[in-house]
Amino acid sequence: MTFHPSGIFVPLVTPFTENGALAATDLERLAHSVIEEGAAGIVALGTTAEPSTLSPQERRSVLEICGRVCREHGVPLVVGAGSNDTAGTVHAIEEVSAYADVAGVLVVVPYYTRPSEAGVVAHFEYVAERSPLPLILYNVPYRTGQQLGWESIVRLSEHPRIVGIKQAVGSVDTDTARLLAAIASSPRSAPLDSFSVLAGEDALVSPLLAMGAAGAILATANVCTREFVELFQLWRSGKSEHARVLGNRLVDPACALMSEPNPTVIKAVLHAQGRISSANVRLPLLPAGDASSIVGALETICR
């Protein structure tokens, strides 16, 4: 059950062929490439993967491919498995746990239903108590309509199966600052000491790493893997001046890659770079506009 997520995790896109089918070869090649460029692990079936549009067989294929690649490289695989149905989330995690290569699951704050914060805590505690896998919580209020405060996160960190949180709140806010401060002041062997805060806002990863985040889960690292890995390593080794320069250089690319609904621009750029065979997404997403200007700008920043 021990899993302490750290470093840059890449939530992989799900490539499709020109005919709209799952492009399994593209997915496998992309998974290998991001790990070879230094990713600490990959996330399969996260939001970036368009999981709600995948058939059960396609989801199984994604898990098999990503699991095999992670096993070959000896890195952890995290799988998105949360919903706004508590019992359904437990069932989804049980299904995912059948894949031996899965190190943990990414479980989102319940969306649409908009429970009270106490209800969100009860949801996560119920799921964690029944989960065979470690949980990384996913706090993304602009998608869920629900904020999860720092005190609730600290309470949830006390559960032995809740090992971290992807914090994607849209800003460097007071709750995030207080959460990171609580971790920094936590005594060794206390639950918070082994609880990982992972940055989830691509443009804000540098300040959160500077404040003590354990790593990040970044959609734009599908494209700029090596640069985000270097940024993490610079902050981790105390080279703050170099980290600040690189972090500032990565802000514009991160914003550009997220300038239309995720993962449309990322797929357009990967296709333009010849890394996936098409830029296709599935409805209700529409393909991104012309990505040529973004590709040109990235050439000077993301190697």
pLDDT tens, 55-114? 999 999 999 999 999 999 999 999 999 999 999 999 999 999 999 899 999 999 999 999
pTM of the model: 0.96
pLDDT digits (tens, 9 = 90+) for 226-235: 999 999 999 9
Catalytic residues: 138, 166
Q: Please, are residues 266 and 223 in contact by the beta-carbon 8 Å criterion?
A: yes
Q: Please, are residues 90 and 131 in contact by the beta-carbon 8 Å criterion?
A: yes
DSSP symbol at 22? B
59 three-class SS: helix
Within the chain, what is the greatest distance between any pair of CA atoms?
A: 55
Neighbouring C-beta atoms of residue 233, cutoff 10 Å: 16
For range 139-166, the mean pLDDT: 95
Virtual torsion, Cα 68, 72, 78, 81, nearest 10 deg = 10
Q: Has residue 282 got a pLDDT over 80? A: yes
Percent of the chain at pLDDT > 70 equals 99
Tokens of residue 224, six digits: 């700029």
Q: Has residue 44 got a pLDDT over 60? A: yes
**Amino acid residing at 193:** D
Q: Has residue 303 got a pLDDT over 80? A: no
Q: Has residue 125 got a pLDDT over 70? A: yes
**Amino acid residing at 175:** D
Virtual torsion, Cα 297, 300, 302, 303, nearest 10 deg = 140
For range 127-143, the mean pLDDT: 97
| Distance of alpha carbon 22 from alpha carbon 13, whole angstroms | 11
Q: Please, are residues 270 and 13 in contact by the beta-carbon 8 Å criterion?
A: yes
For range 122-138, the mean pLDDT: 98
